[in-house]
Amino acid sequence: MIVDGSDSVFSGVGYPTSKFAVNGMTKSLARELGRSGIRVNAVAPGVTRTDMVAALPSEIVERISAPNHWGVSEPEEVANVFLFLASDLSSYVTGTVISVDGAAQTDDQSLRLNQRIDRQAQSLAVLHIEPG
């Protein structure tokens, strides 16, 4: 979960960095495994009613779900995307990350924050540390 405010990330750098890693891995594996007829996709849920979200203070949940104007999603809404991906209806869908976030990524502030985090993640990816 990402919170826009003084350029901070609510859960630290590890959580969003792992999400960017999943996105890259999804695209890479789709290219590699596509030759064998294997499709690889990822689902990126927004704020969803889970135990993790239930443990957050209500003001934080309101703040992180505000960009989508739909509030908090239900687990079934995210599960429906997995059902689609597991069905024959998605036979030509591969190498994509499907956002299930009530259009939160279309919010200007969210886009700017995600672009900042993307640049930070890219700069982390090019760090080179010489052995001891």
Residue whose structure tokens are 């009530």: 102
Contact 2, 115 (CB under 8 A): no
Cα 41 to Cα 22: distance, rounded to the nearest angstrom:
10
Selected catalytic residue, list 5, 8, 15, 18: 15
Known catalytic membership, residue 92: no
SS3 102: coil
Catalytic site residues?
Answer: 15
